[in-house]
Structure 1
Amino acid sequence: MRRILLAATSALAMSAGIAQAADLGVPRQPIAAAIIAPAFNWTGFYVGANLGIGIANTNYSVLTGGLLSGSGTGLVAGLQVGYNHQINNIVLGVEGDAGYFGVTRRADLGGGNFIQWRTQWDASLRARAGVAIDRTLLYVTGGLAAADISVRGAAGLPVAFFPFSASQTRLGFTLGAGIEHAVTQNVTIRGEYLYSNYGTKILNVDNVRLETHKFRIGVNYLFSTGPSAVVARY
């Protein structure tokens, strides 16, 4: 009996050792881990400022017999406010802006006679739609626009004796495109082009056309960029 018990105990011990060795030989499998990769989110309100070059075109060169150039270039500067909403990589939004549009053209006609037209401000309310590539946004924009145009001068030969002046606020449409990039979580910079057309209307005694082009850069502060996206990698 004693010999039988000793043999059984030895067999059990050998079986346990073999099983333990087998377990040690099997490599452990890595556990999949989710890595949180922060992705920029464009959702939120923003405010900003812009600066650039504006071109205003009129048909005054025709109305004055070619004496007054039909286009002029000047400084543009202003403020903008808007809201973005991002759905996947599509960004939709609305933006309003207003500012200085400083273009003046003048022709001296002799004898103290002259004619001058100028623009001083413009504004717009536009929709925006774009594609976000993480921190870079490519977008198009369009909507309503407003601007002023004025004319003044003096007429009479040989010496000017009949001064005149008139001004209007014009309404029209605007279209454009731009690129915007987030340099920090809340600060973005952009480059943008806008074309605006205000039609042809009577100004003083002439039918005057007005259209503008703006090339500008801007900076915005985003008050909220929403939650970051979570990307799982294994």
Structure 2
Amino acid sequence: MKKLLVACLASTALVSGASAADLGVRRVAVPAAIVAPSFSWTGFYAGLNVGLGSVNTNLSALTGGNLAGTATAFVGGGQIGYNHQINNIVLGIEGDLGYFGAQRRGAPINFGAFAAQFAWRTTWDASIRGRLGVAVDRTLLYVTGGVAFADLRVSQTDITNNIVLASQTQVRAGWTVGAGVEHALTPNWTVRAEYLYANYGSRTIAAIPGVSMQTHKVRLGVNYLFSTGPSAIVARY
């Protein structure tokens, strides 16, 4: 009986000591995951752009060197589009329309009773393009391509009597490609810089066959992103 009593007391002492030891250990809470939304390019957007453009034709060769082939001009307009981001890949579609005021006038040709002058000009261009980009958080690097439209007017004027002898205006369709970079300054405002090339092929205009036309544009733009869409969730500890 004495041995049993001693064994019970010893067991009680061990349990009490272990409990006291546990009370002295500081419990550390497991840190919870902190979720932080990253920027998303998903959503509709609209904006404005300005820049410089050049129009190149082969009218100089086709008119005996009378008309210079290339003209540089101010470009400006607006764009509207939609982006959809999947991980860091951004797919989009964009349409734009703008002013493109390039023109060239040839040297006057003397016909005796009057002097005539050849000229060509463009006034606008537009495009519908797809976009494919890689997003690095708030910066988007992209390529773009699609269908382009522009006007071209060729005329011959009696500059002695200020009479238009002949003129024709075409609306041309062609293809366009380009690339750019866009950066989000805020969740809704972005700025961009891009280059676009367009080729409108060769056509007969004003009885001149095989008139080709290509354009180059470098422009800066600003966009308002109407919705940043669902943001990606990043877990940090």
TM-score of the alignment, normalized to the shorter chain, above 0.5: yes
1:174 to 171, 176, 183: 176
Tell me, in whole angstroms, the C-alpha distance in 2 between the residues paired with 1:96 and 1:22.
73
Cα distance, 1:27 vs structure 2? 4.4
Partner of 1:228: 231
Partner of 2:122: 119
Q: Bigger shift: 139-148 or 19-28? A: 19-28
- DSSP-derived class of the 2:108 partner: strand
- DSSP-derived class of the 1:198 partner: strand
Cα distance, 1:94 vs structure 2? 0.6
Cα distance, 1:9 vs structure 2? 7.7
Aligned 8 A contact 2:43 2:227 in 1: yes
Partner of 1:33: 32
Aligned 8 A contact 2:191 2:220 in 1: yes
Aligned 8 A contact 1:196 1:212 in 2: yes
Amino acid at match of 1:45: F
Determine what percentage of the aligned residue pairs are the same residue.
56
Going from structure 1 to structure 2, the CA distance change for 1:72 and 1:162 (only over 3 Å counts) comes to: closer
Going from structure 1 to structure 2, the CA distance change for 1:172 and 1:87 (only over 3 Å counts) comes to: same
Tell me, in whole angstroms, the C-alpha distance in 1 between the residues paired with 2:74 and 2:64.
27
Partner of 2:57: 58
1:214 aligns to 2:217 (yes or no):
yes
Matches within 5 A, 1:197-208: 197-207=199-209, 208=211
Partner of 2:100: 101
Unaligned runs of 5+ in 1: none
Tell me, in whole angstroms, the C-alpha distance in 2 between the residues paired with 1:72 and 1:190.
25
Cα distance, 1:32 vs structure 2? 3.1
1:184 aligns to 2:186 (yes or no):
yes
TM-score after normalising by structure 1: 0.88
Amino acid at match of 1:142: G
Amino acid at match of 1:229: A
Tell me, in whole angstroms, the C-alpha distance in 2 between the residues paired with 1:69 and 1:143.
29
Cα distance, 1:18 vs structure 2? 2.2
Partner of 2:149: 146
Amino acid at match of 2:37: P
Tell me, in whole angstroms, the C-alpha distance in 2 between the residues paired with 1:164 and 1:139.
44
- DSSP-derived class of the 1:69 partner: coil
- DSSP-derived class of the 1:19 partner: helix
- DSSP-derived class of the 1:61 partner: helix
1:165 aligns to 2:164 (yes or no):
no
Residue deviations 1:155-203, cap 9 Å, x none?
A: 79x9998822111000111111111111000111111111100000001
Aligned 8 A contact 1:117 1:149 in 2: yes
Tell me, in whole angstroms, the C-alpha distance in 2 between the residues paired with 1:162 and 1:63.
20
Unaligned runs of 5+ in 2: none
Amino acid at match of 1:116: A
Tell me, in whole angstroms, the C-alpha distance in 2 between the residues paired with 1:226 and 1:162.
55
Query: CA RMSD of the aligned region, Å?
Result: 2.6
